[in-house]
Amino acid sequence: MTQVKPPKPSARPDRVSLWRYVKLFRQDILSAQPAKLYRAWMAEFRTPFFRSFLVNQPDLVKLLLKERPDDFPKSDRIAEGLKPLLGNSVFLTNGEAWKRQRRIIDPAFEGGRLKDTFPAMRAAAEAAVSRLEGRQGPVEIEEETSHAAADVIFRTLFSIPIEHEVAGQVFTRFRDYQRSQPLLNLAAFVPLPRWMPRFFRRGTRRNAETIRALIAQLTAERMAAIEAGREPDDLATKIMTTQDPETGSTFDTAEMVDQVAIFFLAGHETSASALAWALYLMALYPEWQEKVAAEASVLEDESFTAVSKLKISRDVFRETLRLYPPVPMMVREATCPEHFRNRTVPKGAQMVLSPWHLHRHERLWENPDGFDPARWETENGKQCQREAYIPFSAGARVCTGAGFAMVEGPLILSMILRRFRIEPVAGKAPVPVAHLTVRSKNGIWLKLSKR
């Protein structure tokens, strides 16, 4: 069995100056955090303007996400970095606005609808394999998985492939946006008062405006098709025609632009990240690669039922999400004073939940930094999956598309490995960093050869 450990960023020293911390944070969220957070149950970041608490203790994570979510809404500080693109999407809203949005969106992702979207998902996977057939030499696989995941979103949401002119423009602009904007705004961790203006990297606002204009074009065209009675039966139609069961209202075109923006972010960016890391891990662990490739023979059956037989691929993808959760940190805000682990938590404190640290916690997981898809059958793995595994968040705000992602990821992974044998490229070991999601600092490079 291969003993090499999957890559992770170097942790900073436990004590650094505030200025040094800010500088590290701007470079990368993950490497700015000290090693002690991988064994701490709770840690405090105290600043002159507010206090932040990172929470790893499972019962406190459960309390924040599942038992009292209304007392710990999503922090407004998260919105500061993403609002130019996402507007008032379901990812950023709280309270009654968020509840209304979920009532309209959730029916589109219920069980039967996933089966309906599968043919489009499989077509995108086949297109991805075809594109790889023509590649020569080392391949930067993040670029390919981004292309594949964007294709899945456009086919399932709007019934158009990535080659569609507008879809292609959205994908190109988003690729630029992804590298320019971190998921967590610096204000979530460091002492920036609310009155201080937030500065974005060059091109961020311009790219966001262009992306939203293109999405608005697609949304307006679909609204016109719905009114004319000639709309395709896809996710966009389902969401745009679903009435809020409490008020009878539907999303108007402007509201739908916000929601499509987050569907593209959550459904494309996160899937692309996870799939790229899964392929790298398969190159690093050839014994597991061969298991996935052998299992993929079940995909000769092109029906939706074949996906349920991809058990090994699903375990590999689940383990990838543990080691490289696409969204590495989430921030909630305390709406009233609390007392956790003998610490006073004031009203307004930022509560940081970190899948990145929780999934590698040294006091919870056996072999926390190792790659072991078989762990999910062990008692430790089963317990940690219940208590310390939140790649899609948990509770009321669990990702609507979690089930979608757990079909898409194993399917594309299996279809690629069914056709290709992959190896790492010498001298190009990836270094995880956090942009909009957990990506590699200089890409993920692989060698592909046909089976």
**CB-based burial of residue 129 (10 Å sphere; 0-12 exposed, 13-18 middle, 19+ buried)?**
middle
* Domain assignment of residue 440, yes or no: yes
pLDDT score of 1: 43
Mean pLDDT score, 257-264: 89
pLDDT score of 30: 76
* Domain assignment of residue 6, yes or no: no
- Please state, in angstroms and rounded to a whole number, the distance separating the CA atoms of residues 408 and 401: 10
- Please state, in angstroms and rounded to a whole number, the distance separating the CA atoms of residues 274 and 276: 6
Produce one character per residue of 93-121: b if its CB has 16 or more CB atoms within 10 Å, e if not: bbeeebebbbbbbeebbeeebbeebbebb
pLDDT score of 297: 97
Per-residue pLDDT of 298-348, as tens digits, reads 999 999 999 999 999 999 999 999 999 999 989 899 999 999 999 999 999
Helix (H, G, I), strand (E, B) or coil at 345: strand
Handedness of CA 40, 42, 46, 49 (dihedral sign): positive
Residue 138 belongs to domain spanning: 18-450
* Domain assignment of residue 66, yes or no: yes
Q: What is the total count of domains within the chain?
A: 1
- Please state, in angstroms and rounded to a whole number, the distance separating the CA atoms of residues 359 and 14: 20
- Please state, in angstroms and rounded to a whole number, the distance separating the CA atoms of residues 69 and 65: 5
* Domain assignment of residue 7, yes or no: no
pLDDT score of 199: 46
The set of residues, in sequence order, having a beta carbon less than 8 Å from that of 48 and lying 6+ positions away, is 191
Question: Please, which pLDDT band fits residue 198 given cuts at 50, 70 and 90?
Answer: very low
- Please state, in angstroms and rounded to a whole number, the distance separating the CA atoms of residues 54 and 84: 27
pLDDT score of 195: 46
Mean pLDDT score, 209-230: 91
* Domain assignment of residue 3, yes or no: no
* Domain assignment of residue 303, yes or no: yes
| H or E segment to which residue 176 belongs | helix 165-180
Per-residue pLDDT of 88-140, as tens digits, reads 899 889 999 999 999 999 998 887 788 999 999 999 999 999 999 988 789 99
What are the start-end ranges of the H helices in 190-269?
A: 204-228, 235-241, 253-264
Neighbours of 331 (CB within 10 A): 23
CATH of the domain at 100: 1.10.630.10
Rounded to two decimals, what is the model's pTM? 0.91
Angle between helix axes 402-419 and 270-284 (nearest 10 degrees) is 40
* Residue pair 340/60 in contact by the 8 Å Cβ criterion: yes
* Domain assignment of residue 216, yes or no: yes
* Domain assignment of residue 9, yes or no: no
